[in-house]
Chains A and B, each alone.
Chain A
Amino acid sequence: MKKLALAWTRHKVPYIFLLPTVIGLLLLQAAPILQGLYLGFLRSRKDKLLDYLSAPWAGLENYREILFNPASPIRSGLWDAVRNTVLYTIAVTLGTLVVGMAMALLVNREFRFRSAARTLMLFPWIVPTYVVGLLWGFLWQREVGLVNIILVDWLHLFTVKPTWLIGPNTLWAIILPTVWRQWPFSMLMLLAGLQSIPKDVYEAAEIDGAGHWQSFRRITWPLLKPVWAILLLHGLIFNVYSFNIVIMMFGNGAGYPGKHGDLLMTDLFRNSFQMWDFGTGAAMSSLLMLAMMTLVFLWYRAFRDQLTGK
């Protein structure tokens, strides 16, 4: 107590500056998170919702239901969502990185109206994600969508118009728009990284006889490691928690994409706010949080050296 009082008098200014933020975060972040962890152990369903934290204790029942009850629809729905989310996150993160890198290399050359091209490329990144879902939900429509108009009516690539929003194609139907929206951000970051690499490194490599590919592999990519490390983390968090695109793309806003396109966030949201089962919802959220913490920790272990500087 005495120590605390001492610290307060000696560091009054930063503490005063941080006080409102700390109070706000305690109330609106820490308190909900703790309650959320606790809710996972309660039987907090439709009729017991208003009991709040005094809903009946369920122990590990929710967790058992999610993880080990083979008959539970919640469990099978969750595992579909986990599988889709893993595929989606990997595909989108890598796709974004590859496209972003290629475009960054293209824009890093000198040509006329270069900054205009870069600005135009940023356009989709500014489109709100719910608009991306709405727009692509329209583009993917079987009969009236632009995708099928181009692929079938103009290019004659298929004889029958493919269905995009039902069945196994759904995963592609959500991966592509996300990459479309996200790669400009990767390009922006990688371009900034590229421009910070001194030119003489490449000149030296050229004198040593290195080709384009070699100088990219041996110089550019390793030097950009801090940037793409951040992009990997950003992709991980952004895509695992992706919600808007899927919810707007399917079912005219009702948002159930079927078992081939359901993601964790949509599954959790539906379970919580349409089935009104907060207990399992909170349990699933807790598991998800745990998984994310683990992944981020692994990421930190892998890239620690780059981030703390050499």
Chain B
Amino acid sequence: MTPSRRRISGHLLTGLTWFLVVVHLVPIAWMVYCGVKDNQEILSGKVLPGRRQNDVVFLRETPAGFLAGTADGGVTLFGNDLRRERHLELGTFATSFWLDAQAGTLWVLSSNRGLQLVDVGKLALKHTYGVDAIAEAYGKEWATLWVNEVAGSGLGRWGDSLYLSYQIKGYPGVTAFSPATGKFRPMGGFSSRQAGMVRQLARPGSDSNPNGSDAAITVLTNQGIFRHSLQPGMPDKALRAGKLPAVPERICALDERRLLMSADSRAFIYDVVADTVLAWLDRKPGSGIITAFASSPGRLWLGDSRGATAMPDLFPAPVAARFVPGGGEGNIPAAPTLEFSPRFPRVAGRDGDITSHRITAILPLPNGGALLGGPNGTLSLLDADGKPVAEAAAPLSSVYLHWRNYVDLWRNIDFGLYLKNSFIVCIGVMLVAMVLASMGGYALARFNFPGKNLFGYSVLATQMVPGIMLLLPLYLMFINFSRATGLVVKGSYSGLILTYAAYFVPFSIWILRGFFASLPKELEEAALVDGCGPLQAFFRIIIPSALPGIIATGVYVFLSAWDELMFAWVLTDEKTYTIPVGIRLFVGNFQNRYDLMMAAATVSTIPVMILFFLMQRHIVSGLTAGAVKE
């Protein structure tokens, strides 16, 4: 081969090597990546992260302009011509808003940040009352919040208090918050708690007597509608959900006694006081699901996947009727309706180019027009004739990668406990093994005594025994020992540590024997001449000079114990579960939560990675020395 050809083939081989290194690392990179990804995106097979869902969910008119809030916690102030003026990114999820126009503040509720207070004038975050503060109010009753699974939240202010709720199974109803004291208060006794989750809150009725005995919020759950008294101790009243034309999905208060609700493509108006349905309205076939609604004096607004419809409010009094916009049926006269077809700007958002006209928020304007909000933070301003006059979009939300999986791991599945247990057990085994194996290895390396070979080979032979062979009798031994003496062994740290030590010490003795044999004999001979006893020589001279080897062996034992599942599975209980046992349990309980699984996998790999790279040189040389020399 000529030198130049040799150089080229050398480059090719180097390139091949690096290519293989990269391919080899793909699974690990994928594991870490999926640990910060959204599970929905994993399940839909998306490789690159999309953007976070940021529908416009909140629209209000303020003296400074239009205020728009998106589901991902973006708050944007637009001028009257929809020019974007200011923007605040809160980075929240499942967000809902409540504007206190008099105080000039905006309350924001989200699943990851809890309740936040925003100064509207400066558009700046003033204060955060975190999710933990809410959980604290409940103590043990409610401590688990799967940030990822919260579908939405409800927030409203009536009287002195704010009322809030998360749309997730297991959330205990409605929580009150007092802005004056900054304290959360469980409402207690909420009858839908067992029934399901709260979807939305609404309160028909004036604020004139928030402390009156009839003061109540109306709570829409997936199991029906409840009137929840604001007075402690008052029973909840289930509204006649069974008599509604459909199980409602969204709800809002029209005035003091009427609620507007919708389910699928049907809306209905409900009288709270009379507990009766006033009328229901079916959208034209093909209009799709009602996605938003609003009311303005004398008018009702419905939004769906094509646009918004405004119709006269003809239902102040009970009239058993069915009403089709534009058509008319029953004893209600056909009423003229007005269609608002928005023109949203094209935004490359979470789902690519949006062509849909899905309406997510409606703000009726005093001039008879409306401001409509859509997906990806898009807005469309329409005049009184339903013609679009201006359009705008809030800034794009950030890419959907997050640390929430790690928060969930710690808050909801006790991963901290598993981590602690693993560390206690592994460090325990490491120490025991280091002490016993350095004594045993030294004895084998330096002394001749009857039984030496017997011991050496039986120690090696233990490595060939299947673990289950030990586990069956150990399990019975531990249980019977506890029954006989009352000392708990199964499920204790010490039981597992001793079992592991018996498993790992033989191998460690064999490695350390090599280390001690490679030390020069003159070391302890000099010490003996100086008048040290053999024990003194061992502790003063030998141990310090063999320390790198001993530590490397200890680390190896640590890594092996960290990786042990079978013994731990059988010999631990819920207080001493180590990481592999804990992961196995939660993987069984939460199927298809690949984001959490990968986060857990990453957390359990990091400690051993760090440990290994700190000790890499010693471990590698220790292992290979044994192999090459033998």
Contacts and interface: CB of A to CB of B under 8 A. Distances in A.
Q: Do A and B bind?
A: yes
Interface of A: 7, 10-11, 13-15, 17-18, 20-22, 24-25, 27-29, 31-33, 35-36, 39, 49-50, 52-53, 103, 106-107, 109, 111-112, 117, 119-124, 126-131, 134-136, 138-139, 143-144, 146, 149, 153, 180, 188-189, 191-193, 196, 226-227, 230, 237, 241, 243-244, 247-248, 251-254, 265, 268-269, 272-273, 278, 281-282, 285-286, 288-289, 292-293, 296, 307
A84 B604 CA distance: 29
B25 A241 contact: no
A196 B628 contact: yes
Nearest to B28: A123
B42 A29 contact: no
Contacts of A230: 627, 630
A123 B499 CA distance: 28
Given A49-B476, A138-B598, A144-B42, A120 B466 contact: no
A15 B473 contact: no
Contact of B468 (A14, A17, A122, A265): A265
Contacts of B446: 14
Contacts of A188: 620, 623-624
6 contacts: A53-B476, A106-B16, A112-B14, A128-B608, A131-B31, A134-B600
Given A128-B605, A188-B624, 6 more contacts: A29-B465, A143-B45, A192-B628, A227-B627, A248-B580, A285-B468
A160 B388 CA distance: 47
A243 B27 CA distance: 20
A126 B605 contact: yes
B122 to A, nearest CB: 44
Contacts of A286: 469
B472 A281 contact: yes
A106 B17 CA distance: 6
Interface of B: 10, 13-14, 16-18, 20-21, 24-28, 30-31, 34, 42-45, 47, 436-437, 439-440, 442-444, 446-447, 449-452, 455, 458-459, 461-474, 476-477, 479-480, 498-499, 501-502, 505-506, 509, 534-535, 538, 559, 562-563, 565-566, 569-570, 580, 583-585, 587-588, 591, 594, 597-598, 600-601, 604-605, 608-609, 612-613, 616, 620, 623-625, 627-628, 630
Contacts of A17: 439-440, 442-443, 538
Contacts of B562: 128
Contacts of A7: 449-451
Contacts of A117: 17-18, 21
Q: Which 7 residue pairs spanning A and B have beta carbons closest together?
A: A28-B502, A192-B624, A35-B473, A14-B443, A11-B449, A14-B447, A285-B469
Contact of B436 (A15, A21, A53, A282): A21
A46 to B, nearest CB: 13
A144 B464 contact: no
Contacts of A248: 565, 580, 583-584, 587
A53 B480 CA distance: 10
B436 A20 contact: yes
B450 A11 contact: yes
Given A15-B449, A265-B468, A135 B601 contact: yes
A268 B13 contact: no
Contacts of A20: 436, 439
A130 B627 CA distance: 26
Given A127-B28, A128-B563, A36 B588 contact: no
A131 B473 CA distance: 28
Of the candidates A17, A27, A143, A307, the one having the most CB atoms from chain B within 10 angstroms of its own CB is A17
A124 B27 contact: yes
Nearest to B435: A20
Nearest to B603: A131
Contacts of A196: 628
B421 to A, nearest CB: 15
Contacts of B612: 122, 126
B623 A272 contact: no
A293 B463 CA distance: 10
Contacts of A293: 461, 464
B479 A253 contact: no
Nearest to B624: A192
Given A11-B449, A29-B462, A273-B570, A24 B436 contact: yes
A17 B538 CA distance: 10
Nearest to B45: A144
A227 B623 CA distance: 11
Given A31-B477, A52-B480, A226 B605 contact: no
A247 B569 CA distance: 11
A272 B471 CA distance: 10
B25 A265 contact: no
A253 B587 contact: yes
A235 to B, nearest CB: 13
A124 B24 contact: yes
Of the candidates A25, A281, A296, the one having the most CB atoms from chain B within 10 angstroms of its own CB is A25
Given A17-B440, A127-B28, A109 B464 contact: no
Nearest to A103: B20
Contact of A13 (B14, B27, B443): B443
B13 A106 contact: yes
Contact of B565 (A27, A153, A243): A243
B464 A33 contact: no
Contacts of A247: 565, 584
B535 A13 contact: yes
Contact of A128 (B13, B462, B505, B604): B604
A134 B505 CA distance: 28
A35 B473 CA distance: 6
B253 to A, nearest CB: 42
Contact of B469 (A103, A227, A282): A282
Given A135-B31, A226-B628, A285 B472 contact: yes
